[in-house]
Amino acid sequence: MDLGVANRPGSRFGPRALRTIERIGPYNHVLETAPVFDSRVADIGDVPFRSRYRLETSHEDIEKRFNQIVEAGVLPLA
């Protein structure tokens, strides 16, 4: 969602960019680990927005989805 930034459009592509990292390879040479294999993680997708044009509503949607995830006993990675 890019509504909250004026000089950095494209932030909405961040989650998708993280998803493509696995295509490069699961091993992190800097950390000397393979996070995808060392941790139990899952991609649950993007937050569905009621409106792509109202910043306040988008924030409410993000908070609601985050709370649903936490209430389900899952620790979100940020």
Please count the CA atoms within 13 angstroms of the CA of 60 that sit on its side-chain side: 8
Please count the CA atoms within 13 angstroms of the CA of 4 that sit on its side-chain side: 8
- Residue burial 34-71, b: 16+ Cβ < 10 Å; e: rest: eeeeeeeeeeeeeeebeeeeeeeebeebeeebeeeeee
Give the rounded distance of the alpha carbon of 40 from its chain centre. 16
Q: Does position 68 have pLDDT exceeding 80, yes or no?
A: yes
Q: Can you give the pLDDT at residue 23?
A: 59
Q: Can you give the pLDDT at residue 13?
A: 76
What does the pLDDT look like over 19-63, one tens digit per residue? 776 656 677 788 888 776 777 777 788 888 898 888 899 999 999
Q: Can you give the pLDDT at residue 9?
A: 67
pTM: 0.62
